[in-house]
Amino acid sequence: MVDQVTGARTEVELTVGVAPEKFWEIVADVTRIGEFSPECKAAAWLDADSPGPRVGARFSGRNEFGNGFVGEVTGVVTECESGRVFSWVVLDGAEDVARPGTTWRYELSPTADGGTTVRHTFEHGPGDTGVRVMAEGKTPEEVTVVVEDRLAQVRDHMTQTIKAMAGADSR
């Protein structure tokens, strides 16, 4: 059977009235995500002696879904360029960074008026995810619906998160 989950992706691109350096500070401070995200309610750096943001830094995340499911995940920062890019993978049970459950990425570009164009992408990896579990045993048509529904939800949550971040101060 064809794997309809791996590679399924979505992205959101919005322009916000916050300078890239300031927006990056908010994005890269994973401890603040609970202030902004409708799904990820909390996160904390796991490397107490050398917390992120930096490539290789690990953090825990607590996600709450509309169906009542609560999940704990581990993220690993894969790209970290101040004012420009912040990206991480979410590990599955195998904890293999090269085979993540999902990949999340923020790319920031300055606008002529001092704001930022934010491109936020999400992609399912080959690792295990809730969507993969939900797709098990379903027909290809049913899997398409599962994947498309989840991507639509993620896109909506990404949009809400960016807008909430843009309205926040950078502490």
What confidence score (pLDDT) does residue 65 get? 82
Tens of pLDDT, residues 97-117: 999 999 999 999 999 999 999
* Tens of pLDDT, residues 50-89: 888 999 999 999 999 877 788 899 999 999 999 999 999 9
Please say whether the beta carbons of 6 and 124 come within 8 A: yes
Q: pTM (2 decimals)?
A: 0.93
Task: Spell out the domains of the chain, with CATH numbers in brackets.
Answer: 9-166 (3.30.530.20)
